[in-house]
A and B are shown apart, each in its own frame.
Chain A
């Protein structure tokens, strides 16, 4: 079942240009010049129930803006959104009962009060009954270990502790969809792992649909099969993570060969042959030729002393996509 559907979704912001120097400041004080910024342009998106999708893109690509439109907080400039059969902006309050949201940089907990107070209020807001609430908190506690700081005021919590609370808060009321906007920002490896385990568990156990925006490729690798890549407000990729990686980096075969300088091989599937620090590096496409076939061919002609196969690195793929975009 398609749970989230967006068509031709766009959002423009008007920001004003401030001049340079005192003169420029004074000028912009009197008369402002505005510039339209298209934060999101013509976005089409369909997300099925139970999916976990990674929504990535460089800073300012429009990820958060999309999340804010899908949650009903911002009204789209144009286009259509349907979440769970509703228009999230027009029916914001109804929609809010079925979703959980974490804005990683904006805590929703009540700063001066103990964590338990925030949760008590959330329980009332989302009309979670007492038994369910207690069961839920116990369950969350197992993975997120909330009881360590349950009675402490939120302002005394570390970033990681706060984020564990935020996550628990987002899943408290059995939402159908959870939007996580940079949930692991600034966290250490151990907390990240705990948070990922928690998200995985919730998804598996309750078939909760998760949309995750992040800059942490580890999150994506660990959680999402499908990724959507956004660049300057436009969707540039939507599909399996594996195929994105394969499309952008090929595997490399690195060898030490006796008389390597004479190495010369042309075959289908070999994209490039490089010589680096006495090694021979072959960039090949595994869709066309398998590593074993390639190796067999080379071994029959050359005296190979040592070899290793380098797998593509997702981080470098993403870096490449951010820098160059997808061109083809």
Chain B
């Protein structure tokens, strides 16, 4: 298999992402605002008592959470939706490479860019401000692995839901729904370790904790055995959504109507 042509899509999307510097800046600002806002919200909660964790621990969770989400939260609905709306999806479909692969390597290029331009600065700044302990080298390696698996999982999930656009023809509703559910359940909006015990099994049965919460826990110093469990959990969910995404694409491609021209 000639991999060069696949990575060609990543190279191109990396360079395309790099064209828009303002986008990087606004992402950083919005992450920063998010963290400031959350600092005040959670300080208030902490001062009211009733928290079984320290405020510092919660803030580290949020900072790492921003590092993770800025890399792994890809958006295939945008990729697919734009092309369906304009009808330019015919261009992807006339090429000797599947739409799935084109979308995957395109997103891969943009997450590499996001990691360098968004996640790293947030990590550095967070390290400076919140003052968390750096994880051990092996935690860092496993963390990188879980970050990559997290991207794969979000990609596969988002690709599956993006196939709905072949029916709805508009992307924002599909994208918005997926995004909100994902944010609430993945550990982006509140640390999952704060959940009451009776809710935890429910969250653990869903794929979302494997997207953000898992990698955060590894970064914060999870033991080897539990880290491997997180990775295995991510792999299982990836496999499940690999099947779902392939099946939904098979259904969607026969549904295709190309608008205009």
Contacts and interface: CB of A to CB of B under 8 A. Distances in A.
A and B form one complex: yes
Nearest to B91: A108
Interface string A102-128: 011111101111000110110011110
A156 interface: no
Contacts, number: 81
Interface stretch (B134-142, B236-244, B253-261): B253-261
A77 B95 CA distance: 22
Contacts of B9: 121
B16 interface: yes
Contacts of A105: 87, 260-261
B2 interface: yes
B12 A110 contact: yes
A276 to B, nearest CB: 41
B4 interface: yes
Among A74, A96, A113, A124, chain B packs the most CB atoms within 10 A around the CB of A124
Interface in B52-98: 86-88, 90-91, 93-98
Contacts of A106: 86-88, 90-91, 261
B261 A124 contact: no
Nearest to A170: B94
Interface in A50-77: 64, 68, 71-75
Contacts of B93: 71-73, 92
Contact of A71 (B2, B20, B94, B97): B94
A181 interface: yes
Interface string B120-154: 00000000000000000000000000000000000
A113 B254 contact: no
A310 interface: no
Contact of B95 (A104, A113, A125): A125
Contact of B15 (A94, A103, A104, A113): A113
Contact of B16 (A13, A68, A113, A126): A113
Interface string A156-190: 00000000000000000000000001100000000
Interface string B95-107: 1111000000000
B19 interface: yes
A125 B258 contact: no
Contacts of B86: 106
Given A112-B19, A121-B12, A101 B94 contact: yes
Nearest to A71: B94
B97 A68 contact: no
A93 interface: yes
A73 B4 contact: no
8 contacts: A68-B258, A73-B258, A105-B260, A105-B261, A108-B91, A112-B15, A112-B16, A121-B11
Given A73-B90, A113-B12, A121-B12, 11 more contacts: A71-B94, A73-B258, A75-B253, A96-B94, A103-B91, A105-B260, A107-B91, A127-B2, A127-B5, A181-B261, A182-B261
Listed from nearest, the 5 A-B pairs whose CB atoms lie closest are: A108-B91, A96-B96, A105-B261, A124-B8, A124-B5
Interface of A: 13, 64, 68, 71-75, 92-94, 96-97, 99, 101, 103-108, 110-113, 117-118, 120-121, 124-127, 181-182
